[in-house]
Amino acid sequence: MNILQEIAQRTKERIIEEKRSEIISKARSMPVGDFTFEKALKTNDIAFICEAKKASPSKGIIAENFPYLQIAKDYEKAGAAAISVLTEPFYFKGADEYLREIADVVKIPLLRKDFTIDEYMIYEAKILGASAVLLICSILGQSVIAEYIKIADSLGLSSLVEVHDEHEVEMALSAGARIVGVNNRNLKTFEVDITLSERLRKLVPKDIIFVAESGIKTREDVQKLRDFGADAALIGEALMKGAKLEWLR
């Protein structure tokens, strides 16, 4: 079992314990969102999704001191298009409270960064204040992704569909993804190859929002993304370790 499968299994166990029937009915009764996440990524230049992340399986604790509300405010002030908030508690030390509280202090859209393995988590994301959810091809089949996109759409939430190879790009597009994100990190080996985004970009139609994820650390990296036509970059570790968004522009 690789780390992604391990996290997915742990998430299944976690959600079984967390499920509350009133969450679904409450989410459905809320005003339908207007897909602010994907709208925010449609710019004339590359858009930045900045990540609030305390830890990761590959790096361990990234930010011992984690003033997540101030981090979110700083991202918004620096011009981030959106913020990715980790809510997975065991491997990334995230929390639902981070998302809920950040939603109260910023106006830009939020991505719930978690390992969606149950439709319940989409309704939960709505309640927590997210504008988008993450759907990972490596742990969800094409039919499930298509179903989850429809559920998210019914709530006005965007779906960032994450891929890692050519087959998964085809899967995401066939499932109806409007946003495709390429994770440059191999979750089996943790190796990062930023050229993966460049190779897979050629397979994604121009009318689909293309997001490059992981391994983006310098202004030169961002320029490479511009050169091959990425619409957005999801940046976490570099910013959590002190890089400034202004440095990357």
The answer to whether residue 54 is catalytic is no
Catalytic residue among 84, 138, 159, 183: 183
The answer to whether residue 131 is catalytic is no
The answer to whether residue 186 is catalytic is no
Catalytic residue among 76, 214, 217, 237: 214
Catalytic residue among 53, 54, 93, 126: 53
The answer to whether residue 214 is catalytic is yes
Catalytic residue among 38, 56, 84, 113: 113
The answer to whether residue 213 is catalytic is yes
Catalytic residue among 38, 76, 124, 162: 162
Catalytic residue among 51, 88, 124, 168: 51
SS (H, E, C) the chain: CCHHHHHHHHHHHHHHHHCCHHHHHHHHHCCCCCCHHHHHCCCCCCEEEEEECCEECCCEECCCCCCHHHHHHHHHHHCCCEEEEECCCCCCCCCHHHHHHHHHHCCCCEEEECCCCCCHHHHHHHHHCCCEEEEECCCCCHHHHHHHHHHHHHHCCEEEEEECCHHHHHHHHHCCCCEEEEECECCCCCCECCHHHHHHHCCCCCCCEEEEECCCCCHHHHHHHHHHCCCEEEECHHHHCCCCHHHHC
- Rounded-to-integer distance, Cα 196 and Cα 189, Å: 15
Catalytic residue among 76, 124, 213, 237: 213
Active site residues: 51, 53, 113, 162, 183, 213-214
